[in-house]
Amino acid sequence: MDRAQLSHRWLVLAAAIAVVGALGVALARSGAVLLHQCVSGEGLVGTLGVRLALLHADSACPTGTLALGVDGRQVAGIVVIVALPVLLAHVGALALGLGALGRLGALARRVAGVLRWVPIADPEPLPHARPVPVAGPRAAPVLQLVALLARPRRGPPSAPVPA
Protein backbone atom coordinates (compact mmCIF):
# COMPACT_ATOMS: atom_id res chain seq x y z
CA MET A 1 0.00 0.00 0.00
CA ASP A 2 1.51 3.28 -0.99
CA ARG A 3 1.54 6.48 1.01
CA ALA A 4 -1.32 8.16 -0.89
CA GLN A 5 -3.72 5.28 -0.22
CA LEU A 6 -2.76 5.21 3.45
CA SER A 7 -3.31 8.93 3.89
CA HIS A 8 -6.63 8.63 2.04
CA ARG A 9 -7.79 5.93 4.50
CA TRP A 10 -6.82 8.06 7.49
CA LEU A 11 -8.73 11.00 5.99
CA VAL A 12 -11.85 8.88 5.53
CA LEU A 13 -11.55 7.56 9.09
CA ALA A 14 -11.17 11.08 10.50
CA ALA A 15 -14.21 12.26 8.53
CA ALA A 16 -16.29 9.33 9.82
CA ILE A 17 -15.29 10.08 13.42
CA ALA A 18 -16.21 13.74 12.96
CA VAL A 19 -19.63 12.85 11.55
CA VAL A 20 -20.36 10.42 14.40
CA GLY A 21 -19.26 13.02 16.96
CA ALA A 22 -21.44 15.71 15.42
CA LEU A 23 -24.39 13.33 15.39
CA GLY A 24 -23.83 12.52 19.08
CA VAL A 25 -23.72 16.22 20.00
CA ALA A 26 -26.92 16.88 18.03
CA LEU A 27 -28.71 14.00 19.77
CA ALA A 28 -27.54 15.16 23.21
CA ARG A 29 -28.73 18.73 22.56
CA SER A 30 -32.16 17.54 21.44
CA GLY A 31 -32.57 15.53 24.64
CA ALA A 32 -32.72 12.13 22.97
CA VAL A 33 -29.75 10.77 24.91
CA LEU A 34 -30.13 12.49 28.25
CA LEU A 35 -30.37 10.46 31.45
CA HIS A 36 -33.15 11.66 33.72
CA GLN A 37 -33.15 11.43 37.51
CA CYS A 38 -36.35 9.33 37.62
CA VAL A 39 -36.72 6.18 35.53
CA SER A 40 -39.43 3.54 35.20
CA GLY A 41 -39.14 0.84 37.83
CA GLU A 42 -41.18 -1.79 36.00
CA GLY A 43 -39.92 -5.06 34.59
CA LEU A 44 -36.63 -6.83 34.88
CA VAL A 45 -34.53 -3.68 34.61
CA GLY A 46 -36.29 -2.11 37.60
CA THR A 47 -35.91 -5.26 39.69
CA LEU A 48 -32.22 -5.59 38.86
CA GLY A 49 -31.67 -1.88 39.53
CA VAL A 50 -33.16 -2.19 43.01
CA ARG A 51 -31.22 -5.38 43.78
CA LEU A 52 -27.92 -3.82 42.64
CA ALA A 53 -28.73 -0.70 44.71
CA LEU A 54 -28.71 1.51 41.64
CA LEU A 55 -32.37 2.54 42.01
CA HIS A 56 -34.34 3.55 45.09
CA ALA A 57 -37.68 5.11 45.92
CA ASP A 58 -37.62 8.89 46.23
CA SER A 59 -40.32 11.42 47.09
CA ALA A 60 -39.25 13.68 44.19
CA CYS A 61 -40.16 11.02 41.59
CA PRO A 62 -43.76 10.32 40.50
CA THR A 63 -45.39 7.04 41.48
CA GLY A 64 -44.19 4.04 39.48
CA THR A 65 -40.73 5.51 38.93
CA LEU A 66 -37.51 5.15 40.87
CA ALA A 67 -34.66 7.57 41.37
CA LEU A 68 -31.09 6.93 40.38
CA GLY A 69 -29.13 6.73 43.57
CA VAL A 70 -25.55 5.89 42.79
CA ASP A 71 -22.32 7.46 43.81
CA GLY A 72 -18.96 7.14 42.08
CA ARG A 73 -17.87 3.99 43.90
CA GLN A 74 -21.08 2.12 43.01
CA VAL A 75 -20.77 3.07 39.35
CA ALA A 76 -17.15 1.89 39.25
CA GLY A 77 -18.15 -1.37 40.93
CA ILE A 78 -20.98 -2.00 38.47
CA VAL A 79 -18.70 -1.23 35.53
CA VAL A 80 -16.10 -3.69 36.81
CA ILE A 81 -18.66 -6.38 37.65
CA VAL A 82 -20.97 -6.14 34.62
CA ALA A 83 -19.70 -3.98 31.79
CA LEU A 84 -16.04 -5.00 31.69
CA PRO A 85 -16.67 -8.76 31.24
CA VAL A 86 -19.24 -8.04 28.53
CA LEU A 87 -16.79 -5.76 26.74
CA LEU A 88 -14.05 -8.39 26.97
CA ALA A 89 -16.41 -11.07 25.64
CA HIS A 90 -17.25 -8.87 22.62
CA VAL A 91 -13.58 -8.14 21.94
CA GLY A 92 -12.80 -11.87 22.16
CA ALA A 93 -15.64 -12.72 19.78
CA LEU A 94 -14.39 -10.07 17.36
CA ALA A 95 -10.86 -11.48 17.52
CA LEU A 96 -12.14 -15.03 16.92
CA GLY A 97 -14.22 -13.86 13.97
CA LEU A 98 -11.32 -11.99 12.40
CA GLY A 99 -9.00 -14.96 12.93
CA ALA A 100 -11.50 -17.35 11.33
CA LEU A 101 -11.95 -14.95 8.42
CA GLY A 102 -8.18 -14.78 7.93
CA ARG A 103 -7.89 -18.57 7.98
CA LEU A 104 -10.70 -18.92 5.44
CA GLY A 105 -9.01 -16.38 3.17
CA ALA A 106 -5.70 -18.26 3.38
CA LEU A 107 -7.48 -21.54 2.64
CA ALA A 108 -9.21 -20.01 -0.39
CA ARG A 109 -5.87 -18.69 -1.70
CA ARG A 110 -4.26 -22.13 -1.29
CA VAL A 111 -7.13 -23.89 -3.06
CA ALA A 112 -6.95 -21.37 -5.90
CA GLY A 113 -3.19 -21.91 -6.13
CA VAL A 114 -3.59 -25.68 -6.28
CA LEU A 115 -6.31 -25.45 -8.90
CA ARG A 116 -4.12 -23.20 -11.02
CA TRP A 117 -1.51 -25.96 -11.31
CA VAL A 118 -3.89 -28.84 -12.09
CA PRO A 119 -3.27 -29.85 -15.71
CA ILE A 120 -6.35 -29.83 -17.88
CA ALA A 121 -6.20 -32.53 -20.56
CA ASP A 122 -7.38 -31.68 -24.04
CA PRO A 123 -10.22 -33.97 -25.07
CA GLU A 124 -9.04 -36.51 -27.60
CA PRO A 125 -11.20 -37.16 -30.66
CA LEU A 126 -13.20 -40.35 -30.67
CA PRO A 127 -11.41 -43.23 -32.47
CA HIS A 128 -14.20 -43.79 -35.01
CA ALA A 129 -14.62 -40.15 -35.86
CA ARG A 130 -13.23 -39.01 -39.16
CA PRO A 131 -12.98 -35.51 -40.43
CA VAL A 132 -15.87 -34.57 -42.66
CA PRO A 133 -15.44 -31.80 -45.19
CA VAL A 134 -17.77 -28.95 -44.45
CA ALA A 135 -19.51 -27.36 -47.36
CA GLY A 136 -20.29 -23.70 -47.38
CA PRO A 137 -23.57 -22.51 -45.94
CA ARG A 138 -26.52 -23.38 -48.14
CA ALA A 139 -29.88 -21.80 -47.70
CA ALA A 140 -32.84 -24.12 -48.24
CA PRO A 141 -35.55 -22.66 -50.38
CA VAL A 142 -38.44 -21.48 -48.29
CA LEU A 143 -40.96 -23.37 -50.39
CA GLN A 144 -39.21 -26.71 -49.82
CA LEU A 145 -39.16 -26.05 -46.09
CA VAL A 146 -42.87 -25.19 -46.06
CA ALA A 147 -43.70 -28.28 -48.14
CA LEU A 148 -41.70 -30.49 -45.78
CA LEU A 149 -43.48 -29.11 -42.73
CA ALA A 150 -46.94 -29.12 -44.30
CA ARG A 151 -46.77 -32.71 -45.61
CA PRO A 152 -49.50 -34.73 -43.90
CA ARG A 153 -48.22 -37.80 -42.12
CA ARG A 154 -51.24 -39.96 -41.27
CA GLY A 155 -51.16 -43.72 -40.77
CA PRO A 156 -48.71 -46.30 -42.09
CA PRO A 157 -47.42 -46.13 -45.65
CA SER A 158 -49.80 -47.57 -48.20
CA ALA A 159 -49.17 -51.14 -49.36
CA PRO A 160 -48.26 -51.69 -53.02
CA VAL A 161 -51.20 -52.72 -55.17
CA PRO A 162 -50.81 -56.32 -56.45
CA ALA A 163 -50.85 -56.64 -60.22
Q: What does each C-alpha distance from 158 to 35, 154, 155, 161 come to in angstroms?
A: 100, 10, 8, 9
Size of the chain in residues: 163
Q: Contact, 84 vs 91, CB < 8 A?
A: no
For 11-52, write each residue's pLDDT tens digit.
888 889 999 888 878 776 765 555 567 777 787 777 777 777
Residue environment code for 128-140, b if the CB has 16+ CB neighbours within 10 A, otherwise e: eeeeeeeeeeeee
Q: pLDDT by residue (tens digit) across 62-79?
A: 888 887 776 656 666 666
* Chain-centre distance for alpha carbon 121: 38
Q: How confident is the model at residue 145 (pLDDT cuts 50, 70, 90)?
A: low
Question: φ and ψ at 160, to 5 degrees?
Answer: -65, 145
Q: What is the pLDDT of residues 79-119, one digit of tens each?
A: 677 777 888 999 999 999 999 999 999 999 998 888 777 66
Residues 55/46, Cβ–Cβ less than 8 Å: yes
Which DSSP state fits 79? I
pLDDT of residue 102: 92
